[in-house]
């Protein structure tokens, strides 16, 4: 099958032939229908997070089940599915206390062992599976707990977005921060994840929803999907603007870029008792500094991984919300591209001007 392989870090992706195995007992072979280009892929291509090479990147996808392993009962060929990197074991302490996105066995029992044939090979050697998925490929061979079945009337390109960016942004609002109706929200960064957080805030019934970005076209989309106010961070002090607009700061600030400066800004935008939720991937080793005195005002700063999701529950609900018109996903797809155009797609992402490119497989 055709796949996009990352051989060196930093580096571009090479479209080449990759061999995919047959499903083991608890594995599912999925024909990839659509795969979104996510900023996290870029973090690994640029080397701000380590990963073994060669690897097939991609982790935001939807497709159709082609074959299932002997122990799989949940899925059958023909099922439409969304993949999620939050693959869970179902029995560790995190899974059993209702936090499967933090599963302790993610890279242990949901992957193949070193003594087994790898799921993916390139030129006869192992091609490391990226985040248990590797979606930039015509097929994905994954553990059954990396998938959720969805309605067949859901367009698969929009479903793919739910697989990472949308789940991450909406989940940060619903599950990590638990925004209450009427509370004020600021979202820093209006890429795919930030736009999803804005929508989560709208659906949760937040009061004022303030979008912050440096790119006017992204702020325009933010308004379309639910922001009540916008702040262009290139035109002055965004923190001061948000504090002034809200008469003292917001209940919840979300950081959806992954930078020290914007994480600190999120904390700075809080009212007394407010909570900053950092969604973005801050490079390893970078420290975030806040004024310790502010903790006496019960301000909090917390992380969010993949929106603290319970994706088997959450994703079908998000599909329903799209199909009944509450979750706007059409606005978030910038362009449909071919696998061969993937490097150009990431180049566009680096300019910061687009929301989401989605690869379509025939």
Annotation says 164 is catalytic: yes
Distance separating alpha carbons of residues 46 and 29, to the nearest angstrom:
29
Q: Cα–Cα distances in Å, from 41 out to 11, 37, 46, 48, 334?
A: 12, 7, 9, 10, 17
The catalytic position among 43, 80, 128, 252 is 43
**Site track for Zn ion across 163-182, x = CB under 5 A:** -x------------------
Residues 6+ apart with CB under 8 A from 346: 13, 37, 41, 42, 45
Nearer to Zn ion, 38 or 150 (CB): 38
User: 136 or 267: whose CB is closer to Zn ion?
Assistant: 136
| Catalytic pick among 84, 89, 164, 190 | 164
List the x/- string, 252-271, binding to Zn ion by CB under 5 A.
--------------------
In the list 6, 34, 38, 72, the residue contacting Zn ion (rule: CB under 5 A) is 38
The stretch near Zn ion (CB under 5 A) out of 101-109, 118-126, 265-273, 354-362 is: 101-109
Task: Choose which of 18, 28, 29, 103 interacts with Zn ion (CB under 5 A).
Answer: 103
Of 118, 85, 115, 130, nearest in space to 19 by CA: 118
Q: Which are the contacts of 305, defined by CB distance < 8 A and separation ≥ 6? A: 86, 101, 102
Q: Whole-angstrom Cα distance, residue 48 to residue 214?
A: 22
Active site residue 61: no
Residues between 211 and 240 that touch Zn ion (CB under 5 A) = none
Q: How far is the CB of 45 from Zn ion (least distance, A)?
A: 13
Query: CB-wise, 59 or 208, nearer to Zn ion?
Result: 59
Among 28, 45, 89, 133, binds Zn ion (CB under 5 A): 89
Please select the residue that binds Zn ion; options are 5, 81, 84, 95, rule is CB under 5 A.
Answer: 95
128 noted as active-site residue? no
Q: Give the binding range for Zn ion (CB under 5 A) out of 61-69, 80-88, 130-138, 333-341.
A: 80-88
Name the residue nearer to Zn ion (CB basis): 99 or 300.
99
The upper half-sphere exposure of residue 311, i.e. CA atoms within 13 Å in the direction of its Cβ, equals: 33
Choose between 300 and 312: whose C-beta lies nearer to Zn ion: 312
Active-site residue, selected from the candidate residues 38, 89, 92, 95: 38
Decide: 67 and 28 in contact? Cβ < 8 Å: yes
Residue 40 sits in the site that holds Zn ion (CB under 5 A): yes
Of 39, 40, 304, 334, the catalytic one is 40
**Closest separation between CB of residue 107 and Zn ion, Å?**
11
Task: Mark 188-201 as b/e (b = at least 16 C-beta within 10 Å).
Answer: bbbbbbbbbbbbbb
Determine if 92 is a binding residue for Zn ion (CB under 5 A): yes
Binding status of residue 68 toward Zn ion by CB under 5 A? no
Select 128 or 143, whichever has its Cβ closest to Zn ion: 143
Binding track, positions 121-160, relative to Zn ion; x by CB under 5 A: ----------------------------------------
Number of residues binding to Zn ion, judged by CB under 5 A: 9
Task: Mark the segment that binds Zn ion (CB under 5 A) among 11-19, 31-39, 48-56, 139-147.
Answer: 31-39
Residue 181 has a CB neighbour count (10 Å cut-off) of 8
Query: Catalytic amino acids?
Result: 38, 40, 43, 59, 164
Q: Rule CB under 5 A: which residues touch Zn ion?
A: 38, 40, 88-89, 92, 95, 103, 105, 164
């Amino acid at each position: 099958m055709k796949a996009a392989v990352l051989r060196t870090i930093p580096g571009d992706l090479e479209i080449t032939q990759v061999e995919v195995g047959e499903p083991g007992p608890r594995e599912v072979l999925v024909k990839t229908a659509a795969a979104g280009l996510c900023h996290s892929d870029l973090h690994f291509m640029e080397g701000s997070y380590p990963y073994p090479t060669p690897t097939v990147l991609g982790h935001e996808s939807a497709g159709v089940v082609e074959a299932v392993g002997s122990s799989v009962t949940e899925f059958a060929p023909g099922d439409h599915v969304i993949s999620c990197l939050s693959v869970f074991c179902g029995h560790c302490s995190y899974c059993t206390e209702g936090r499967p996105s933090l599963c302790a066995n993610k890279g242990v029992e949901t992957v193949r062992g070193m003594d087994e044939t790898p799921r993916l090979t390139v030129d006869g050697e192992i091609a490391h599976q990226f985040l248990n998925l590797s979606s930039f490929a015509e097929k994905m061979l994954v553990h059954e707990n990396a998938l959720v079945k969805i309605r067949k009337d859901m367009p698969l390109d929009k479903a793919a977005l739910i697989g990472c960016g949308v789940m991450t942004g909406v989940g940060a609002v619903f599950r990590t921060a638990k925004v209450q109706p009427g509370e004020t929200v600021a979202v820093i960064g209006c890429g795919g994840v930030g736009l999803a957080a804005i929508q989560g805030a709208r659906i949760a019934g937040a009061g004022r929803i303030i979008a912050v970005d440096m790119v006017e076209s992204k702020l325009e989309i933010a308004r379309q999907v639910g922001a009540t106010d916008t702040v262009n961070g290139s035109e002055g002090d965004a923190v001061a603007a948000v504090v002034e607009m809200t008469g003292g700061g917001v209940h919840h600030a979300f950081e959806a870029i992954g930078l020290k400066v914007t994480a600190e800004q999120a904390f700075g935008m809080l009212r007394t008792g407010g909570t900053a939720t950092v969604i973005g991937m801050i490079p390893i080793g970078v420290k975030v500094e806040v004024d310790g005195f502010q903790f006496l005002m019960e301000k909090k700063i917390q992380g969010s991984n993949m929106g603290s999701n319970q994706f088997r529950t959450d994703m079908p609900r998000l599909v329903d919300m799209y199909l009944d018109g509450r979750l706007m996903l059409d606005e978030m797809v910038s362009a449909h591209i071919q696998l061969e155009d993937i490097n150009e797609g990431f180049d566009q992402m680096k300019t910061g001007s687009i929301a989401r490119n989605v690869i379509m497989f025939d």
